[in-house]
Structure 1
Amino acid sequence: MKHTNVLLAGATGYLGRYLLEVLTEQQNQVIAIVRNPDKLQNSNENFLEVKQAEVTKPETLRDICKGVHTVISTVGITRQKEGLTYMDVDYGANMNLLKEAKKAGVKHFVYVSAINGEKHRALKIFEAKEKFVDALKSSGLNYTVIRPNGFFSDMKDFLQMAKSGRVYLFGSGHQKFNPIHGEDLARAIVDSLDMDTKELTIGGPDVLSLNDIGELALTALNKPIKISHLPDWTRKLTLWCLRNFTSVKTYGPIEFFLTLMAEDNIAPSYGNQHLKDFYLAQAKNL
């Protein structure tokens, strides 16, 4: 890609760290906005400027986009914490960034949502993300919405379950999707900066069923293959109970997981990192 000035928001997250690596490695000038600068490990000082700011507090972002060509935001929360809701972060914080970007005449705004977000607006996680997508599309800025399939980091839940010696799945376990490694996704995003892509739905190289993923997790831990299939009504009942008897903080991430796990989510394949290898590496630390 052409060297450019990039503002990266969410640089200390799973995807943000890889984006920072790829952007600086390709000699782009990056301004990384972080709440806690100590959390940022990057040796590429020549191409990196770290600014301390909180995206949920607009006063800390004043003029932060001055001289910036491209804004990339991976800002969002999987689990609500510190009293912040999805609307505060996934929508509100990104709106704060968008306002600054418009004010400074930024040329391109890249936002990371998730696969099929437009189809699942009723889910708490997506409600806020897609509200921001709408605002971005009508902002007048050149934009790209990135819609990744599940991250490898989210697939650790299966490994945790496999530790007990058995994996539990809802339904047949034939539901397929192709999760993607953060580094592969970061490279795809940086590659797309030169293209006029409005929406990029993307997954990893291997299309796997839930049964496959359960087997990979058990095999990585040298456990016999034991997978139990729970009837799908138990998934629906779990969702109903969570929505009615727990706070959104508890049910938000589980609702997301249980809904997307009930259907195929296959995205165009990209990258060369495999879940099998990721599990084998993770298993050593468990």
Structure 2
Amino acid sequence: MKHTNILLAGATGYLGGYLLKVLIEQQNQVVAIVRNPDKLINTNENYLEIKQAEVTKPDTLRDICKGIDAVISTVGITRQKDGLTYMDVDYQANINLLEEAKKAGVKHFVYVSAINGNKYRNLKIFEAKEKFVDALKSSGLNYTIVRPNGFFSDMKDFLQMAKSGRVYLFGSGYQKFNLIHGKDLATYIVDNLEETNKELTIGGPDVLSLNEISELALNALNKPIKIIHLPDWMRKLTIWSLRTFTSVKTYGPLEFFLTLMAEDTIAPTYGTHRLEDFYIEEAKKF
């Protein structure tokens, strides 16, 4: 069954923007819900309808899923702002959408979480996401949980460090990852819309160690290769200090980053975009 009417939540975010493009290229009818309509220009009225709604406010979502075959939600926050917590957005906002989808008889709900979310439920950033995953799985709807292995855009911190001429890593730097570009992930999600009641873990085409990622960042900025390896106990102490002395708003993303950096995180490989090219492009902006 080809999906035709798709509701996209989170259309103005990093991944949402790519999803919107791919969905329209493949001639799906898309309803994009946005909090601020000025953030999205409708360049394709044959395939796209923009509706203003706030996923955190259920009354603005009333009947939004009428006539919809599938909902795709990329709703979530990386860094807490607007006084909203992970539970408010990653969990409750998605529950609000799910309730509307159930009422309207939507067949399929696609939710983008993150790799190993189930394994790291103790991390603030995952606690809310995985609570929603549980609710979706027991909702009675066909579901797909997409678990990407981090985005290229998450790796800009390495370029920032490289700019100063050296990159700092905890431990040996041999930990391996295969991050994925938003466009590749969007294509993968749309191409797999037929896959229901599955969890799909996916990464990019290149499996790279942190040392290799650091070298790519330094090379992109034409800096000599200077990587400083810090002992791993410093990473653990940093996580402890962040949890103890800062608010969840500050420590959420850092706790996630520092925990996942400690071991290999390799997903099935997919896509054509390479981190090296991404860094070279980004370096031009510095």
Please give the TM-score of this superposition, normalised by the length of structure 1: 0.99
Alpha-carbon distance between aligned partners in 2 of 1:2 and 1:136, rounded to the nearest angstrom: 22
Structure 1 residue aligned with 2:27: 27
Matches within 5 A, 1:235-274: 235-274=235-274
Matches within 5 A, 1:153-164: 153-164=153-164
Structure 2 residue aligned with 1:59: 59
Alpha-carbon distance between aligned partners in 1 of 2:168 and 2:31, rounded to the nearest angstrom: 43
**Contact 1:3–1:27 (Cα < 8 Å) also in 2:** no
Matches within 5 A, 1:87-236: 87-196=87-196, 198-236=198-236
Alpha-carbon distance between aligned partners in 1 of 2:69 and 2:33, rounded to the nearest angstrom: 15
Structure 1 residue aligned with 2:280: 280
Alpha-carbon distance between aligned partners in 2 of 1:212 and 1:150, rounded to the nearest angstrom: 16
Alpha-carbon distance between aligned partners in 1 of 2:41 and 2:183, rounded to the nearest angstrom: 16
Alpha-carbon distance between aligned partners in 2 of 1:212 and 1:74, rounded to the nearest angstrom: 30
1:157 Cα offset (Å): 1.0
Q: Map Cα deviations across residues 167-191 of structure 1 (whole Å, 9 max, x no partner).
A: 0000000000100000000000000
Q: Map Cα deviations across residues 223-254 of structure 1 (whole Å, 9 max, x no partner).
A: 00000000000000000000011000000000
1:197 Cα offset (Å): 5.3
User: Please, which runs of 5 or more residues in structure 2 have no aligned partner?
Assistant: none
Structure 1 window deviating more from structure 2 (188-197 vs 15-24): it is 188-197
Q: Map Cα deviations across residues 91-127 of structure 1 (whole Å, 9 max, x no partner).
A: 0000000000000000000000000000000000000
1:156 Cα offset (Å): 0.8
Alpha-carbon distance between aligned partners in 2 of 1:222 and 1:137, rounded to the nearest angstrom: 48
**Contact 1:34–1:54 (Cα < 8 Å) also in 2:** yes
Structure 2 residue aligned with 1:78: 78
Structure 1 residue aligned with 2:4: 4
1:42 Cα offset (Å): 4.5
1:222 Cα offset (Å): 0.4
Please give the TM-score of this superposition, normalised by the length of structure 2: 0.99
Give the letter for the 1:164 counterpart: S
Alpha-carbon distance between aligned partners in 2 of 1:204 and 1:148, rounded to the nearest angstrom: 9
Give the letter for the 1:58 counterpart: P
Alpha-carbon distance between aligned partners in 2 of 1:184 and 1:142, rounded to the nearest angstrom: 24
- RMSD over aligned CA atoms reads 0.9
Alpha-carbon distance between aligned partners in 2 of 1:42 and 1:20, rounded to the nearest angstrom: 11
**Contact 1:6–1:71 (Cα < 8 Å) also in 2:** yes
1:195 Cα offset (Å): 2.6
1:36 aligns with 2:36: yes
Give the letter for the 1:173 counterpart: G
Alpha-carbon distance between aligned partners in 1 of 2:10 and 2:86, rounded to the nearest angstrom: 15
Give the letter for the 1:266 counterpart: I
Alpha-carbon distance between aligned partners in 2 of 1:55 and 1:121, rounded to the nearest angstrom: 23
Give the letter for the 1:125 counterpart: I
% identity of equivalent residues = 82
**Contact 2:3–2:69 (Cα < 8 Å) also in 1:** no
User: Please, which runs of 5 or more residues in structure 1 have no aligned partner?
Assistant: none
- The 3-state SS of whatever aligns with 1:71 is strand
Q: How many residues align?
A: 286
